[in-house]
Amino acid sequence: MQIEVFREEAVRWLKTTAVPRADIAGDAPLVWGAGSDSVAVFENTTEEEERLQAERISDWQSTKFDAGYGAIAWPTELGGRGLTPAHEAAFRAEEAKFETPGFNELFGVTIGLVAPTIGIFGTPEQQQRFIPSLLRTDLLACQLFSEPGAGSDLASLSCRAERDGDGWRITGQKVWTSGARVAHYGEAICRTDPSAPKHHGMTAFLVPLDAPGVEVRPIRQMTGGSTFNEVFLEDVLVPDDLRLGAPGDGWKVALTTLGFERGLSSAGGGGLGGSFRRLHALSRQLDRTTEPVTRQQLAKLYIGERLLSMLGQRARAAMEAGGPPGPEGSVGKLLWTQNMSRTSDLASTLLGPRLGADTGEWGTFAWAEHLLGAPGYRIAGGSDEIQRNIIGERVLGLPREPRPAAP
Ligand SMILES: Cc1cc2nc3c(=O)[nH]c(=O)nc-3n(C[C@H](O)[C@H](O)[C@H](O)COP(=O)(O)OP(=O)(O)OC[C@H]3O[C@@H](n4cnc5c(N)ncnc54)[C@H](O)[C@@H]3O)c2cc1C
C-alpha cells in the first residue's frame, strides 16, 4: 500500500477515534498554556496511578491493534498489518497530532523489545501464544537483566536456573526492573551452567511475575516515583515451554534484546520528555529569543533532533532491507541522551531559580521533572560510556579495550 494512501486512511481513522491536540496547529509554534505541560521523563506516580496509566495506554494500544494500527510492520500471521517501518513512522507522525494516553517504558519494552526477541528466538508455539497478546498489550513484559553485581558487564550475572524435573528452578535477584509492578512476565537471563565460560552458560526465560517465589520491591527515584524495582526470585518454578532459545543461548538472546533497545532509543525513545518545540515556545514566552546564548542552544538542539530523525530514517531503511539491528543503534542512543542533556541545560538557562519552586505557572516548574529524569537514560539500556565503547570497537573498528584476563 502506498504510504500516502495509508496516511490518509490513518488520519481518517484517527479523526473518528481521538481528539486533535489543542496545543498544536499544524506546523505552527506550540500554543502556550494549552493542554498538559508535563515534560517528565519518568512519571512521579503511586502504584495505583501507575496501574491506571498502564490501563489507559493499554486500552489505546488495543484499540489501535484491533483497527490495524497497533502492529503495522508485523506479519499478518502474528496479528500485524504486514506493512513497512516507513508506514509505522507515518502513522506515528499523524498520531502525535492527537490526544492519546502516551507511552511509557514498560510498553516500549513489551512491544519494542520482548515481542521482537520472541519473534527471533521463540518456537512457533511461543510466537503464537505471546506475540499477538504482547503487541495488543493484553500481556505486559519487563526486562529482568541487570543485577546488583551485573550492569554494564551483564555477562557477570549470577541469577541461577537449575533443571527441576521437566522445568527449571530460578533463584536470584534482579534490579532496576522498569515496570515490574505492573508487568505480567519478565524476560530473564539466568546462569544455567556455571562451569561454562561466562558468555556461554546462560539461558533466557519468560518468567510469570505472579509465580510463587517472585517478589517485586519498588525503588524510590529522585523524581519521586518508583518506575523501577528490585525483583527477588526464590525457587521460582518455570516450565520448559517458557525457555526462550536453546539452553546456553542466553547471551545471544540478551544481545538481540539490547540491540532492539538501542534501536528504540535511536528512534527518540517514543518522544519522552521535552523537545525543541516546547523550549522554543518557552523562550518566546519569556522573550528570550534574541539572546545569543539562547539562540545558540536552541540551534544545537534543533540540529540534534533533526540528526536523530534522519538516523531513525536510515535505521528504518536498513530494517526494510532485512537487516537486524546493528551497532549503529549506539550512535542513536548517544545522540538521544545528548539531546536530553541539551534540553535540560537550555531549560535551566531559561528558567533558573523558577525550577526550584512551583508557583503554579504553566510550562515552568514542570521542567524540573525533566532535569531530574533525563540523567537516568544516560545509564539505562547501556550507559553513554558503553555506547562509546561499542561505537569505537564495532563501528569504527578501533582496538578493543583491554579485557580482564580469564581466571
Ligand atoms: C532509568 C533506568 C531504567 C532501567 N531499566 C532496566 C530494566 O528495565 N531492566 C534491566 O535489566 N535493567 C534496567 N536498568 C539498569 C541498566 O541497564 C544498568 O543501570 C546499566 O546497564 C548500568 O549498569 P550499572 O548500573 O550496574 O552500572 P555499572 O555497570 O556499575 O557502571 C558504573 C559506571 O562505570 C561505567 N563503566 C562500566 N563499565 C565500563 C567500561 N567497560 N568502560 C567505560 N566505562 C564503564 C559506566 O558507564 C557507569 O558510568 C535501568 C537503569 C536505569 C537508570
Domain extent listing, the chain: 37-135, 141-248, 272-395
For residue 98, the cross-strand partners are 20
Nearest CA to ligand 1 atom 38: 152
Q: What is the pLDDT of residue 405?
A: 58
For domain 141-248, give the CATH number: 2.40.110.10
For a ligand 1 pocket test, name from 190, 253, 383, 386 the mutation site with the most ligand atoms within 8 angstroms of its C-beta: 383
> Using an 8 Å Cβ cutoff, are 204 and 157 in contact?
no
* Average pLDDT of the segment spanning 211-227: 93
Distance CA 113, CA 74 (A): 13
> Using an 8 Å Cβ cutoff, are 119 and 176 in contact?
no
pLDDT tens figures, 89-146: 899 989 988 989 988 889 999 999 999 999 999 999 999 999 999 999 999 999 999 9
Give the 3-state secondary structure of residue 208.
strand
Band (395; pLDDT cuts 50, 70, 90):
confident
- Mean pLDDT lowest for which of 56-70, 272-286, 331-345? 272-286
Q: What is the pLDDT of residue 30?
A: 77
Question: Does the pLDDT at position 265 exceed 80?
Answer: no
Question: Does the pLDDT at position 221 exceed 60?
Answer: yes
Distance CA 233, CA 235 (A): 6
Nearest CA to ligand 1 atom 31: 152
Question: Does the pLDDT at position 211 exceed 80?
Answer: yes
Q: What is the pLDDT of residue 231?
A: 98
Distance CA 223, CA 243 (A): 36
pLDDT tens figures, 308-352: 888 888 877 777 777 666 666 788 889 999 999 999 999 999 999
Q: Is 143 in the pocket of ligand 1 (CB under 6 A)?
A: yes
What share of the chain has pLDDT > 90, as a percent? 74
Give the 3-state secondary structure of residue 153.
coil
> Using an 8 Å Cβ cutoff, are 183 and 159 in contact?
no
Catalytic residue (one of 261, 305, 328, 369):
261
Q: Which atom of ligand 1 is nearest to the CA of 143?
A: 9
Is position 261 annotated as part of the catalytic site? yes
The CATH homologous superfamily of the domain defined by 37-135: Acyl-CoA dehydrogenase/oxidase, N-terminal domain (1.10.540.10)
Band (28; pLDDT cuts 50, 70, 90):
low
> Using an 8 Å Cβ cutoff, are 242 and 207 in contact?
yes
Instruction: Measure CA of the first residue to CA of the last residue in the chain; give whole Å.
Output: 57
Band (26; pLDDT cuts 50, 70, 90):
low
> Using an 8 Å Cβ cutoff, are 100 and 60 in contact?
yes
Fold of 272-395: Butyryl-CoA Dehydrogenase, subunit A; domain 3 (1.20.140)
Strands 185-191 and 141-144 come out as: parallel
Question: What would the grid cell of residue 53 be?
Answer: 496509566
- Average confidence score pLDDT of the chain: 91
Distance CA 175, CA 45 (A): 19
Q: Kindly list the distances between the CA atom of residue 200 and the CA atoms of 31, 190, 196, in Å, as whole numbers in the listed order.
A: 55, 11, 6
Q: What is the pLDDT of residue 179?
A: 95
Q: Is 226 in the pocket of ligand 1 (CB under 6 A)?
A: no
Nearest CA to ligand 1 atom 24: 151
Question: Does the pLDDT at position 273 exceed 80?
Answer: no
The residue type of 66 is D
The residue type of 372 is L
For a ligand 1 pocket test, name from 152, 182, 262 the mutation site with the most ligand atoms within 8 angstroms of its C-beta: 152
For residue 206, the cross-strand partners are 187
pLDDT tens figures, 225-238: 898 999 999 999 99
**Crossing angle for the helix pair 47-67 and 3-17, to the nearest 10 degrees:** 130
Q: What is the pLDDT of residue 29?
A: 66
